[in-house]
Amino acid sequence: MGAERDRDECQLAEAALQGDADAQDALFRSALPRLTAFVRHRRNALLLERCGEEDLVQTVCREAVRDLGAFEYRGPKSFEHWLLARASNKLRNKSRAERAQKRDPARVEDAGSSQMRITETPSRAMAQHESQARLAEALDQLPEHYRQIIELIRFEGRSYAEAAAVMGRREGALRMLFTRAIGQLGALLAAQTR
């Protein structure tokens, strides 16, 4: 079953790279839930105020479609990992730009820029906004290697073996590191609610 799914993904990627619009659509659709979750959890507090989640996801997808020729299929989930790496870069660059604009005294706030889905109540949207802001703040307080391992495993959905290869560590050591990282993240989140 897994080998068949991997073969299907490989064929889909090959067809997408050859310009097959249906294959491209299927490839992006398969990665969209993970991409959306990644963007939701990686936005910092400033981006939460300025950019809608859907806008960020659409921007990443639009740019990825444009640059699809740069993608190389390297095995299962490689498209998803490529897309998440692009999203990570986009969020980092967007955060820098937003911080720079925030410091600009000539900047005028666009009252129509905030996005809220009609199905959300104001209180639910505010609670979600506050929860995401707390998570982003706690992640920003973690040491870089803790933040990286949480991003790789929780947000990008990589296995311990894949994350160990990316970080240049043994898998057993990486599991221990992940446990410590999650523990510290939990402590930071708990301290915020006191």
**pTM greater than 0.75 (yes/no):** no
Phi, psi of 134 (to 5 degrees): -65, -45
Give me the DSSP letters along 159-175: -HHHHHHHHT--HHHHH
What single-letter DSSP state applies at residue 144? H
pLDDT band of 6, cuts 50, 70, 90:
low
What single-letter DSSP state applies at residue 93? H
Please report where in the chains the tokens 């802001």 appear, as a residue. 133
Q: Is the pLDDT of residue 10 over 60?
A: yes
Mean model confidence pLDDT for the chain:
77
Q: Is the pLDDT of residue 160 over 50?
A: yes
Residues 62-110: tens digit of each pLDDT = 898 888 888 888 888 888 889 888 888 888 887 777 666 665 544 444 4
Cβ neighbours for 170, distance < 8 A, ≥ 6 positions apart: 164
3-state DSSP assignment of residue 107? coil
CA-based torsion, 173, 164, 34, 98: positive or negative:
positive
